[in-house]
Structure 1
Amino acid sequence: MGKISMAASILWLALVALAVVGEAAIVEHTFVVHEMNMTHLCNSTKVYVVNGQLPGPQLDVVDGDTVVVHLVNELPHGVTIHWHGVRQLRSCWADGAGYVTECPVAPGGNRTYRFDVSGQVGTLWWHAHVTCLRASVHGAIVVRPKDGRYPFPTPARDVPIVIGEWWTLDLVELDRRNLDGNFEDDPLSATLNGKLGDLSNCSGVPEESFVLDVEPGKTYLLRFINTALFSEYFFKVAGHTFTVVGADANYLTPFRTDMVTISPGETMDVLMVADAPPGLYHMTAVANQPPPPDLQIRALTSRGLVRYAGVRADNGGAPVPAPLMPGQHDTMPSYYFRGNFTGLAFPSRHRVPAHVDERLFVTLGLGSICRGGKKDCKLRRSNETITVATMNNVSFHHQTAASLLERHYDGTGEGLYTEDFPDRPPRPYNYTNMDLIPVGPLEEVLEPTTKAIRVRRFKYNSSVEIVFQSTALLQSDPNPMHLHGHDFFVLAQGLGNFDPKKDVKKFNYHNPQIRNTVHVPRVGWTAIRFIADNPGMWYLHCHFEFHIVMGMATAFIVEDGPTPETSLPPPPADFKRCGTNGFSKP
């Protein structure tokens, strides 16, 4: 063997060895955010996209890899990108939450995000985190195991199923209306991987459908992501069942089901075996919502196809089966579906902390503030008030003057925020009394709200327990709650008002699911627990966009630990501080 051939062989063997031991890699991308026109439903609509794609580019990484994304902003306003569900251990500066961890990248500006993806396997996602741009500026993050092995049968292929919505209203204008307490605007359709499906049509011509091509007998890993602004979705495929195996990049104890239910912000990993007679089968996604007297949005449905190899486009003349879906107002299937979730054999470092240092009881609902800064005004959704969303009767003020993380790091937060987010609501009441939904004397007493930036500080490595309580105050929506920078244990869920004497007995300390986004059921509660072990400023918010814009949010400060390795590092050398990059309001 010649010297060159021998050298090539040695190099090849070295590369194989690196692959076998799972050597970490650097995954690098450039994201150009820009406007373009797309035509759906006979109309050309301006949309905001990354690299001309909807959904945007998929990030494929292996557990332990480093991600480097160069963001180029060609929009006429500021933008950030949040890496939803990535732990961001000691990399809070890269979290991408607008005005929380950074000021938006200005028009014509750029920035580079660098972070590690470690200790997570499954599906995450990225999205814009200013205004309502995440409706179209989003994409999947697929994290594969180092050794290539899953705790379930290896699939023939994995397929992202991105559930979204098609908006014709400009997303920046939608944000402005939500800030003014107007949440009566609707998308025109649900979408599957950016396609509206054949139930929508333009002058009688059906819209294009997403098609999943399968081969008989093979197993497919469906990676669900709900990017929608407003709705939880039911998803089914006619003639097929699923095995749910993961959520939010954490493994679950597998369970069988014929339907997946997924809220905005959540991801879910699901196996589907192509074991039906070869043919065409409809897949359907349907948005659910509470019944009246809650404010109603249009019924949102999208439909795609599962197509077996070799089957004719007309299905051999046979009708294409469609799944039987729950009613639009039937939210109970969601509750029962989520009752199946338990965690799968997580490492000892993920054991539920036995002690609790900080306990919070957080009510989630609506309220009102007086227009123009007045102290007194006519309530009951009058023209003198702005409807806001609240946590413990505090509506988060989304300021556009500074980054909370920068002020925290510099020790200059005084005057911008206060560290007094309350442990519980200011007054107890029957949180799930349905008579609170219509305007009237019952809700009028409870709706006056504080608008402020009130955050909460936790000592490093403290154990925090939160019970989220959905309420019926002016509406009875569920609430998908997302915590940046941390995973948490979901201990239990329930309907009605949380009873600390009885419901604590339901807590699962043995094998709870580990999540970053949890669906708090309609007029029900969910209990979580986590370790505050990631120093920085971390956003907590509902992932319904109108709720977050209207103030259902806060931020958690996690203090530094005792060593440099347990402390928030300085901002990266190329990090552009607020005011240094000409940042602008979105």
Structure 2
Amino acid sequence: MGMIKSYSTAASGTFDNTTVAGVLEYNTINATSYVANWTNKLRSLGNSQFPVNVPQTVENNYFFTVGLGSDPCPKNQTCQGPNGTKFAASVNNVSFTLPTTALLQARYFGNSKGIFSTNFPSFPLNKFNYNGTPPNNTMVSHGTKVVVLPYNTTVELVMQGTSILGAENHPLHLHGFNFYVVGQGTGNFNSSTDPAKYNLVDPVERNTFGVPSGGRVAVRFRADNPGVWFMHCHIEIHLSWGLRLAWAVMDGKLPNQKLPPPPSDLPKC
């Protein structure tokens, strides 16, 4: 990238170019269709420096609903959720509870009992019209549950937005991996027709993707980085409400495919 220079018709050295200020003004904040049309045009470069390695076959399929929900209001508190409840957020109705012991440490030493469980649901346990009338019960469940992935296996993840307590875009960030955005759209995901429309040739490669408001997005990646990797919404209040989860990628057979031990000077939490 070349150096960015100031533009001026004045003679060089006759103006102060040490400070530049600008004003960015938005005409609208909800141009959902415009955003969708623009992001659908993004493509990978597809050259020798940035090859496209989108998985053509999938070994692990996941369908996650993402959105808001509610919790009972704690005693002696005033909550701003519907009907006096407390706002919450979840993935597949699991609101992630942060552990008191590091997940990576528990994963390495194999002592996950009482720290995290590996029964995160691959699909919603209770199906409904995700962008239609929300269910009467909007309460979420809680737990420190992770998704386990064998080393070097391929993953397809469909993230489906819901209309529970309002539909909105959720920017989801995955640590430890880049992935390819192979499809996205409005409404509910159709497992019969939507995969046929996937871009498996030159999809954009990212580490953060927006689950469209009232829609869904499909990504693919290869689980070739051992460890425990956080995935979370980048809207901070949603993150604090539990819109997060973790992927536990297991070791491969070769030495360079295994999670290294913690350093001797690792600070205690």
TM, length-normalised to structure 2: 0.87
Offset of 1:565 from its aligned partner?
A: 0.7
Pick the aligned partner of 1:514 from 199, 202, 205.
205
Question: How many angstroms apart in 2 are the aligned matches of 1:362 and 1:396?
Answer: 14
Pick the aligned partner of 1:332 from 33, 43, 46.
33
The verdict on how the C-alpha distance between 1:412 and 1:336 changes in structure 2, with shifts beyond 3 A counting, is same
Offset of 1:496 from its aligned partner?
A: 1.0
Q: For each residue in 1:291-310, what CA deviation from the matched residue of structure 2 results, as whole angstroms up to 9, or x when unmatched?
A: xxxxxxxxxxxxxxxxx977
Pick the aligned partner of 1:409 from 87, 108, 116.
108
Aligned to 1:395: 95
Aligned to 2:252: 561
The verdict on how the C-alpha distance between 1:386 and 1:156 changes in structure 2, with shifts beyond 3 A counting, is same
Question: How many angstroms apart in 1 are the aligned matches of 2:225 and 2:24?
Answer: 44
The answer to whether the 8 Å contact 2:104/2:228 transfers is yes
Establish whether residue 355 from structure 1 lines up as the match of residue 57 from structure 2.
Answer: yes
Offset of 1:451 from its aligned partner?
A: 0.8
The verdict on how the C-alpha distance between 1:496 and 1:428 changes in structure 2, with shifts beyond 3 A counting, is same
Offset of 1:381 from its aligned partner?
A: 2.2
Offset of 1:312 from its aligned partner?
A: 7.0
Offset of 1:346 from its aligned partner?
A: 4.6
The verdict on how the C-alpha distance between 1:326 and 1:340 changes in structure 2, with shifts beyond 3 A counting, is farther
Aligned to 1:486: 177
Offset of 1:392 from its aligned partner?
A: 0.5
Offset of 1:504 from its aligned partner?
A: 1.0
The aligned amino acid for 1:354 is Q
Aligned to 2:141: 450
Establish whether residue 156 from structure 1 lines up as the match of residue 3 from structure 2.
Answer: yes
Q: Secondary structure at the match of 2:34?
A: helix
Establish whether residue 365 from structure 1 lines up as the match of residue 67 from structure 2.
Answer: yes
Q: Secondary structure at the match of 1:570?
A: coil
The verdict on how the C-alpha distance between 1:309 and 1:460 changes in structure 2, with shifts beyond 3 A counting, is farther
Q: Secondary structure at the match of 2:29?
A: coil
Across the aligned residues of Structure 1 and Structure 2, the Cα RMSD in angstroms comes to 2.5
Mapping for residues 450-469 of structure 1, pairs under 5 Å: 450-469=141-160
Aligned to 2:7: 215
Pick the aligned partner of 2:82 from 381, 391, 399.
381
Structure with max Cα Rg: 1
Offset of 1:563 from its aligned partner?
A: 1.2
Aligned to 2:19: none
Q: Secondary structure at the match of 1:215?
A: coil
Aligned to 2:125: 426
The verdict on how the C-alpha distance between 1:572 and 1:475 changes in structure 2, with shifts beyond 3 A counting, is same
The verdict on how the C-alpha distance between 1:561 and 1:349 changes in structure 2, with shifts beyond 3 A counting, is farther
Mapping for residues 182-221 of structure 1, pairs under 5 Å: 214-215=6-7
* Residues matched between the structures, number: 258
Aligned to 1:524: 215
TM, length-normalised to structure 1: 0.41
Establish whether residue 505 from structure 1 lines up as the match of residue 204 from structure 2.
Answer: no
Pick the aligned partner of 2:43 from 342, 358, 383.
342
Q: Which 5+ residue runs of structure 2 have no aligned equivalent?
A: 17-21, 76-80
The answer to whether the 8 Å contact 1:342/1:511 transfers is yes
The verdict on how the C-alpha distance between 1:418 and 1:343 changes in structure 2, with shifts beyond 3 A counting, is same
Mapping for residues 224-373 of structure 1, pairs under 5 Å: 278=9, 325-347=26-48, 350-371=52-73
Offset of 1:333 from its aligned partner?
A: 2.2
The aligned amino acid for 1:457 is V
Question: How many angstroms apart in 1 are the aligned matches of 2:229 and 2:29?
Answer: 34
Aligned to 1:376: none
The answer to whether the 8 Å contact 1:214/1:309 transfers is no
The verdict on how the C-alpha distance between 1:570 and 1:339 changes in structure 2, with shifts beyond 3 A counting, is same
Percent identical pairs in the alignment equals 34
Choose between structure 1 and 2 for higher RCO, CA contacts under 8 A separated by at least 6 residues: 2
Question: How many angstroms apart in 2 are the aligned matches of 1:370 and 1:416?
Answer: 24
The aligned amino acid for 2:7 is E
Offset of 1:398 from its aligned partner?
A: 2.0
Question: How many angstroms apart in 1 are the aligned matches of 2:235 and 2:130?
Answer: 20
The verdict on how the C-alpha distance between 1:516 and 1:322 changes in structure 2, with shifts beyond 3 A counting, is closer
Offset of 1:519 from its aligned partner?
A: 1.3
Offset of 1:371 from its aligned partner?
A: 4.1
Normalized per residue, which structure has more strand?
1
The answer to whether the 8 Å contact 2:45/2:51 transfers is no
Q: Which 5+ residue runs of structure 1 have no aligned equivalent?
A: 1-153, 158-212, 217-277, 280-307, 314-320, 374-379, 437-442, 579-586
The verdict on how the C-alpha distance between 1:322 and 1:372 changes in structure 2, with shifts beyond 3 A counting, is closer
Q: Secondary structure at the match of 2:61?
A: strand
Question: How many angstroms apart in 2 are the aligned matches of 1:344 and 1:556?
Answer: 28
The verdict on how the C-alpha distance between 1:322 and 1:531 changes in structure 2, with shifts beyond 3 A counting, is closer
Q: Secondary structure at the match of 1:382?
A: helix
The answer to whether the 8 Å contact 2:89/2:140 transfers is no
Pick the aligned partner of 1:533 from 224, 236, 245.
224
Offset of 1:311 from its aligned partner?
A: 8.5
Question: How many angstroms apart in 2 are the aligned matches of 1:311 and 1:497?
Answer: 59
